Structure 1
Amino acid sequence: MIYKVLVLGNPPSLQAGFLNQVSGGGLSYQLYTALGIGIGVARLPSPVGAITLQLWLIPSRKRFAGITRRLMRGANSSIVVLREEELGALHQLLLELTPEQQESLMIVVVGSLLDRESVKRTVEDTVCSRCEIHRALSAQDALHALSEVMTSRLNDGLQRVTVMLLDERHCPEFQFRPDQATLPVNTKEEKREIREFARSLGIGVSDTACVISLHEGVAEMELATGTLLFRSRLCEECKRGCKKAERICIIGQDKGWSSQGMGPRALLAMAKLEGLNRGELPADVRVQIDRAACCPTFVPIPGSEINGSRSKVRPSNRLVGAERPTLLEEAEIRMKQGRLSSSVYNMLKSKLQRAESRSNRPEGADNRCR
């Protein structure tokens, strides 16, 4: 049997630490740094057979309220992890749970010298019902208690609130560690080799970057990291002055060799320069550049020429008197932006061409017997 269990708490690092412990150090935290979301899995024996708990780390942030509500759907139980001095936040955390999500509720109180009666009194005053309170020897012990509560509820249908007292030594806070597989930045020697390679291609070089001029704008690649930024040529003819720079993602790994002993990041940076200079770019990279070259808020400088770049500008009320693109032109823009598939674009183009050819026929030439 599989159950979905929500894990809430305060502070977030303690909440994540508990989930990391009960999932055997297998907390999946790809979204943890950005959204505070984590996922863990625990498999436990029970009187009705082995059960699997799918544990969801839920952030208590108003900024992500919509995301949080969607993630909380379908939960069978909830765990709230708090330090004893943070019990005052329990009421606010429980407000985030529906009555169904509060069934089989477990409250884990973490601390060093926990006063059993004081904790019980505070929790009962908050949840307005009696609760069972126990001491847990570990975070896993608390999870076993939850599985017993959940399976017993299947038999008698009673709603229970269980409080577990857990020593803080068994629930260390989770400290996010960056991916150790991240490549080191380019060395001074590697940056020198990249500069020489760029100059041999006729590419401009500054102290920190290589500058590649494209038809749509200017691409700038950082020498240290190989990060690629793109600035649209429209910005030069716009009076807004925002000067946006879009990051262009090129995913790849160069497995070539170098007599100078250059690392994979430096080799990949040189491959980027070669591809940009020759115009030989993957389709997804080309779509990124086309999308970055467009601007929905473009305001031309009075008296300046747009130099044929109107096709890169989405229609805006600010372009008073400007010629609106045709339906086919708008479809082409969306296809280049990745918002419309090429098959749909070709189908639309074919239908419009047939409609135009029929409209150009002499009157009566298209009569058919009915």
Structure 2
Amino acid sequence: MSSPPTTKGSVISKVLVLGLDGALQAGFLARASGTCFSYSLYTSLGIGIGVTRFEHRGFVDITLQLWSLPHHEQWQRTIASFTKGRSATVLVVRPDEVARIPEIVSILERPDGEPVTIVQVGQEPVDETKTAIITDVFARSVLTHNNASIPDVLMCLGDLIMDSVQRQRIDMFLIPPEDCPAAIPERDFESGLLNSEVEVQAIRSLATSLGLECDDDECFIPLAKGSAVVNLWTASVKFYPILCEMCENKCTRKSSICIVSTHNGWSRGDLGEKALLTMAKIYALSTGDLPKDVVSQLNASASCAKFRASSEYDSTAVQEVLSALGYRPYESRWTLLDEAMKRVLVGKLSADAYDTLNRLLQKALTRCTH
């Protein structure tokens, strides 16, 4: 292993929890996270989120965000969007489900290069057939740990995250069923409309550890095309585009960004599901690990058809800034005729059709200018 760091640090990592039985995954999540887990997305997608913290080998404090994702063929594409940004994956299976591991990991892009740990809930020995299946999927040897515990699994995850050498094999932990019983989340009817002061302190602590600024009520997250502001009490997200700062119009746009539209669900422990959701939003925005629909919302909010550069700024400097941010001036975009000519050149549109389109556009332009 690599030499330990001289000063103690901290690491926050996302870990997937996959399997065939959502209740068994929930049991693992509950035992691994203690009381700090949430099922705010369980009713719609069957997703659970847990947080666990531990000291790894005496040199670093590791915080794991455990994302339990269900196995649903009809939701495969939707569920796959939640796999981004992961540092490792845990497979939670029963002995008779080991043969279906190739099916479970089909949601991952490249299972053979994935940092993976397998948890078998049950002490049935791992025979050569099962070993061959695992080796074939991940292209690595298998090391079996009998009579293991969930803390053993967490420590192994820490090794996978901190040391790439550990990824050259697959660690398979055989855990007694009583140490990882299946669990059905209980509904929490006492969750309030706002995060509590204790929860806000925990959220602010996470934001500070990510290098973000906070005041009493909000967390400020700089993005490429503006700033996101997350309310620490309500979890709402506002986006302020940088475009507005250089515009002579003083409309000062602020757009609401929907990352998860509901906060109703199940939660347990000191941190309610809404507090965990607030943390997840801050973490996702700060790391850029965002679903495509959120990226689309941010891009749409960052653009404005009414933008006019303020006279307070040098026009050349404004254009350079906008170009660096990925904005294109309207004049540089392809016109309809440009697109038509491209099709003519590749044989997808006849020259006669192009001439007809050109005449129609010229007539329309003449009407508009008279």
TM-score after normalising by structure 1: 0.45
- Report which of the two structures shows the higher radius of gyration computed on alpha carbons: 1
Q: Structure 2 length normalisation: TM-score?
A: 0.45
Q: Which has the higher contact order (CA 8 A, sep 6+)?
A: 2
Q: Report the structure, 1 or 2, having the larger strand content.
A: 2
